[in-house]
Amino acid sequence: MANVATEENNSEALEQFEGLTGVQKCAILMLLIGEDEAANIMTNLNPEEVKTLGTTMYEVQDIDQETVNLVLDEFLQIIKANTALGFGASDYISTVMSKALGAEKAQSVLSKITPQDANNPIDILQWMDAKSISELISDEHPQIIAVILSYLESAVASDVLSQLDPKLQPDIIYRLSTIENIQPEALKELEKVMEKKFNSNASLRATQAGGIRSAANVMNYLKSNVESSIMKELTKKDKDIAKEIQENMFDFENLIGIDDKSMQTLIRSLDNELIVVALKGADDAVSDKFFACMSQRAAANIKDEMEALGPMRLTDVQEAQKQIIAVARQLADEGSIVLSGRGGDEYL
């Protein structure tokens, strides 16, 4: 009987281990390595990563020992198989980033984390809340604001934009979408602005930032009514830019194209109530995608709750869908899932 119980425990631990995301495994390791070591790691993460990892550490603190052992075994196997300590670390980091995030996303991240001779004063904005940032830059020229938003995480940039003057929002998005490279001259102007705010200096170099994808990412996080208002004004200003941004935005229907494993990870990260509301106004194909990646029991429960919910306002449904897309984009940024945009291209 003892052997049977042990086999059952091992099976449950293995099932739980296979359901863990990369972030959850990292969180477990953070809880094991000690306070000082964990704190040292935290100091090398950006604000969004700190929040994500910290939240996940709370989520996994009660995980069973057998599952913890499996996480440690996997970690040790990775360490034995791959190490670049002292030999070509830069190439190793670049390769890891490219494999994890894709070439485009990796280049964007590496441009921000590669050691430099001087710190960019705009980096301090990464540690500020959206309200403080919006108050700090609200009196700046829309072009300056657009450049600053291009440096922020999309979710934060969206929150900042939402708190700025609505009359300026379409112009800011337009300017953000047309940024390709920030030349040293432009950085010098930005440096002067930031020096007034933080009394700091920035290194001058051409930096890739902004563009259609950046503008689309910010738009993805906006509330439906704000998004509609900006797109309406942006279309008046430049139909081609508005169309490109729209085509690069990831909407709820695009979830049909993601792989089943990514969908399952996304579903585990969502509240059932949010799924119920979001699917009330979704196409059958999207609903079928969700249901196919759930257990039969979970799918039946969602369907029952949808039927019992009755009619819903369109704005409530759209807002729920927006929230799910925001979670999906966050998971994609963490590398936990892969999103597929229009045309089947990888979308991170």
Who's near 86: CB < 8 A, 6+ residues apart? none
Residue-level pLDDT at 81: 55
- All structural domains of the chain, each given as residue ranges with its CATH number in brackets, are 2-82 (no CATH), 121-248 (1.10.220.30), 252-347 (1.10.220.30)
Determine how many CB atoms are found less than 10 A away from the CB of residue 144.
Answer: 19
Q: Which among 297, 289, 283, 300 has a CA at the least distance from the CA of 266?
A: 289
What pairs with residue 347 in β-bridges?
Answer: 339
Q: Residue 83 in 3-state DSSP?
A: coil
d(CA 228, CA 76) in angstroms, rounded, equals 50
Residue-level pLDDT at 255: 85
Residue-level pLDDT at 195: 62
Q: Which among 172, 162, 174 has a CA at the least distance from the CA of 140?
A: 172
Q: Which two three-digit tokens encode residue 91?
A: 């190439």
Q: Which among 169, 275, 285, 187 has a CA at the least distance from the CA of 228?
A: 169
Rg of the chain over Cα atoms, rounded to whole angstroms, equals 22
- Which residue, chain included where needed, has tokens 């249901």? 291
pLDDT along the chain (348 residues), means of 10: 52 81 86 77 78 84 83 74 48 61 58 48 64 81 85 82 90 86 67 60 42 74 76 86 76 82 90 90 87 91 87 83 84 76 40
Q: Residue 208 in 3-state DSSP?
A: strand
d(CA 173, CA 157) in angstroms, rounded, equals 11
Contact 132, 216 (CB under 8 A): no
* Helices 284-292 + 260-268 axis angle, to 10: 80
Residue-level pLDDT at 3: 46
Residue-level pLDDT at 228: 78
Distance, first Cα to last Cα, the chain:
49
